[in-house]
Structure 1
């Protein structure tokens, strides 16, 4: 009798464990599977080697400091995975990262649609932390592309379908990675391709030119009085060529913070270089409209664009 009770208790416990595992398997793809450091060794262009990770207050959903750049990994279910991946650069004027709303929320939507997503915690320009703050974020973007491609087999990815996405100042970073990949700012002994397969830009800062740029983003990245050649170099509408990757751009026409002409001029540069590009301008929404809308309300055209351009599926 004791044996039967013990056996029954065991099977009840086993059934509970199986049920718990089932529910965990249902929810695992709505949360990050891992957070990984993108630099296996010394962080380039860094004045200090610190053990601290980025400060990420849960309540605010913002990242205020990054000393060790990281990727937070969101993988789709294997049954829906198509091998495509996107590295997401949250915005925040190169002063802060709007991490949860632009990064994590967007990554979850990609994963639900079969696309692996990696939210990049990139270094924010800071003279006290970097030897040359202008190139710090670009180094991290290039390293993220390199890291994801070098681990593509592990995550079931197609190295030819790894793209980059950015919001606001993060859009400037993504556009910089898409137009400056021929200049390598990181160690790349294996010559991993640093050209993103595609770029997705959401209300992006594109230009550093007076009258068009977002003043705070320019000052935080380039300093108070940058040289003209530096301004031109980081004005991405001036750096487009025929090898720039295909682009999807979206912006609101009534954006009072980052003028929609940033997106329009970048689109025009792409068009004249015969680079496939799609531009969606909403009449209203202001800056940061994704903070107020659910991902499914503004991301469906992105998935359609990726499908049309052969960026989904192996």
Structure 2
């Protein structure tokens, strides 16, 4: 298992995995390709966007990483014919709210879900950026809420069960996924149809959960909330403090030796869910570090077992 490296100075902590280039090449040559890419705000203005010269701020991506998102989108991965279960998942890759680990955590995960009959949507969400948004803090959540609205309203098109639409997130993407699962009653998008923005299930993998000083991942908090967030804002985006009895059933996994995002993020989230009697299952591996999925190809095995037991998917 390769180890993560935290970059110094003002740069975000990026995961540098040995062999990631080979991994991305394998992904690009795989048979299961995205069937469609949907513009989240097709035909309408992107909410909360500044009027700036977008040509001077081009979208950037390289080596499976996305460094800026101007037009958020959903990339669709359909199960093979005859294997669809009716379930769907929106996948939120991580990257400290500074980049998106799009290929490794997004596309690879979508393909794994699709192979198990789950229609998967990789969310390319806006990264918090004062240059392109008026309020950078809510931009990722706007895109996540818009994504679940599109998927739920388009359920017939993709032959989905509207009661089996979940969200999965990694690292900072786990924070976004858990924010969607705990803040769904406060829409930050237009929702005239009153479409439910609540995911039916939640999967978080080595997630950032807390924004409190003692536990948060500093880069993720700084990128999302700014350099000096108020105590009120830190509490609002500490998602273990936002759990209630209606929070979706949750699957959590983390490595105990994670040096980047403390495993106590997952443990505190688990305890909050348990206290509110929300169905929750947690798998903590003794070793693996942050990004352990890259060295553990079978990490999804207990996840899909959980989904089967909860009747999200069939065997």
What is the TM-score with the length of structure 1 in the denominator?
A: 0.88
Unaligned runs of 5+ in 1: 1-26
Cα RMSD of the aligned pairs, angstroms, is: 1.5
Shift of 1:53: 7.3
Inter-partner Cα distance in structure 2 for 1:215 and 1:200: 22
Counterpart secondary structure, 1:32: coil
The aligned residue for residue 246 of structure 2 is 243
Determine the structure 2 residue equivalent to 1:103: 106
CA distance in 1, matches of 2:31, 2:199: 24
Rounded to whole Å, the distance in 2 between the matches of 1:29 and 1:142 is 30
- Matched ranges for 1:1-314 at <5 A: 30-40=32-42, 41-48=44-51, 50=54, 54-57=59-62, 60-294=63-297, 297-312=298-313
Q: CA deviation at 1:28?
A: 9.0
Cross-structure match for 1:21: none
Is the contact made by 1:86 and 1:162 (CA closer than 8 Å) also made in structure 2?
Answer: yes
Higher helix share: 1
Offset of 1:29 from its aligned partner?
6.3
Query: Partners in 1 of 2:294 and 2:105 — Cα distance?
Result: 7
> Within 1, Cα distance between the matches of 2:31 and 2:240?
37
Relative to 1, partners in 2 of residues 1:166 and 1:44: Cα closer, same or farther, differing over 3 Å? same
Distance in 2 separating the partners of 1:68 and 1:105: 22
For 1:97 and 1:243, locate their aligned partners in 2 and report how far apart those are by CA, in whole Å: 29
Question: Residues of 2 paired with 1:69 and 1:202: CA distance?
Answer: 22
Displacement of 1:55 in angstroms is 2.3
Q: CA contact under 8 A between 1:29 and 1:75: conserved in structure 2? A: no
Q: CA deviation at 1:308?
A: 0.7
CA distance in 2: counterparts of 1:113 and 1:98, whole angstroms: 22
Structure-2 separation of matches of 1:122 and 1:157: 22
| Deviation beyond 6 Å, 4+ runs, structure 1 | none
Report if the CA contact (8 A) 1:178-1:195 is conserved. yes
Aligned-pair CA distance for 1:159: 1.0
8 Å contact from structure 1 (residues 86, 164) kept in 2: yes
- Kindly provide the CA deviation profile for residues 37-89 of structure 1, in whole angstroms up to 9, marking residues without a partner as x: 011311111103748874222xx110000011001100001311011000000
Report which of the two structures shows the higher radius of gyration computed on alpha carbons.
Answer: 1
Q: How many angstroms apart in 1 are the aligned matches of 2:121 and 2:48?
A: 23
Gaps of 5+ in 2: 1-28
Q: Which moved more, 1:31-40 or 1:117-126?
A: 31-40
Please give the alpha-carbon distance, in whole angstroms, between the structure 1 residues aligned to 2:157 and 2:270: 35
